[in-house]
Amino acid sequence: MVPLKELLNFSILPIDKPSGPTSFQVSSLIKNKLNLTKTSHFGTLDPMVSGVLPVALGRACRLNEWFMHKDKTYVGIMRLHEEVDKKKLDATITQFIGKINQLPPVRSRVKRAIREREVKSFDILEQEGTDILFHTIVQAGTYIRKLIHDIGEELGGAHMLELRRIQASIFTEPSYTLYEVDKALEALKAGDETPLRKMLIPATEAIQKVLPLVQAQPSIVPMFLKGKPVMAKDILGKAPDAPYYALYHNDRLISIVKTVKEGTIIARPQFVYN
């Protein structure tokens, strides 16, 4: 069994963020509660939005490149400013399925320039008067509040009443409330590591769900741990046709590498776990 201290330095803790605090505040709170030197979150949630907020612990903070830029799933309530029949509502929503152009909100931290995003699905779960319960899957970086506003522009106006993220990349429910984290830490103080361990997703396991895996030649592992670039002879089997992949030695993560074409060099390390 991996020692808890080591696990805490390379794991992801999926938090159920409450409405109110910023994502940064929640990440900082987790850092302080777990007495860590560094934490970060994989995908910002607006303060008033709740739901799955993956918080990376320790060295796992360096993995955001491979987790943040994945699809997100939300459920929420859209309030129309006037009643609209379902046929017109469905027809309007259909116009916003697929690739759309979005201008980030004024209060966003990104540059305000029109950018293309993709709405994978937008399904009406229930309609009660002007309140619409919806489920949507979108490309990372899509602003749901802006999407609701733009849909409303075609329907006499609309705004987002409530929103909850239920999936961010590979991370989904169950996620854990801050209260549940506190209870796990109380158990830890009493000598029971089990509740906290159950909450942690080892980064070595998470990586296997987002990147192809390649086994390193055992004799080359010490050199890989020092940052050696990858040559075809250094791995078992063929390199995958992918921009990035993870090098392992049995179940042990060695590094994450980026595919290149530089003569005999086929990949270069982007992250080394030594």
Q: Which sequence positions are flagged as catalytic?
A: 46
Please tell me whether residue 274 adopts helix, strand or coil conformation.
coil
Any idea of the CA torsion for 231, 235, 237, 241, to the nearest 10 degrees? -60
Nearest of 80, 75, 27 to residue 49 by alpha carbon: 75
- Which two three-digit tokens encode residue 31? 């850092």
DSSP-assigned beta bridge partners for residue 13: 55
Rounded Cα distance, 268 and 146, in Å: 39
**Across-strand partners of 259?**
267
**What is the distance between the alpha carbons of residues 56 and 177, in angstroms, rounded to a whole number?**
16
Tokens of 94: 């259909």
Are 224 and 254 in contact by the 8 Å Cβ rule? The answer is yes
Euclidean distance between CA atoms 97 and 206, whole angstroms: 30
| CA distances in angstroms from 45 to 26, 50, 52, listed in the order given | 10, 7, 9
Cβ-contact 101, 112 below 8 angstroms: no
Q: What is the CA radius of gyration of the chain?
A: 22
